[in-house]
Structure 1
Amino acid sequence: MNTENKNSFEWVWYVIGILTGMLSVFSVTTSFGWILLGGIFGLIFAAVFLNKIVKGRHY
């Protein structure tokens, strides 16, 4: 029986990555530029997590 989930919730991991990156930089410094850079790094780590680690898992 092959059932596929039509709802993709990958966007949740990207949002979590952005928020975690921004909050971790905010806890160290309050500079707006560094907070945005932390959000970009969080987005990159979320993309790596989804495309390299989670991609091969079968449930």
Structure 2
Amino acid sequence: MADELLTVPEVMARLRLGRFTVYDLIRSRRLLSITVGRARRIPGHALRDFITHEIQEAA
């Protein structure tokens, strides 16, 4: 997962969250993303880092 670029729908499926929530995470800079042309992509490592951070915050 570390080297891939994920689409928003892929992140939605992996986190089981809605589109608005994923874009809100991106807007608030809690989830790193890049723009390629007009497409928004989330690096796999950014998703892993987000999950790790959320687990640490919950503990």
Which bin holds the TM-score, normalised by the shorter protein? 0.3 to 0.5
Pick the structure with more strand per residue. 2
TM-score, length-scaled by structure 1? 0.32
Structure whose CA Rg is larger: 1
Higher helix share: 1
TM-score by length of structure 2 reads 0.32
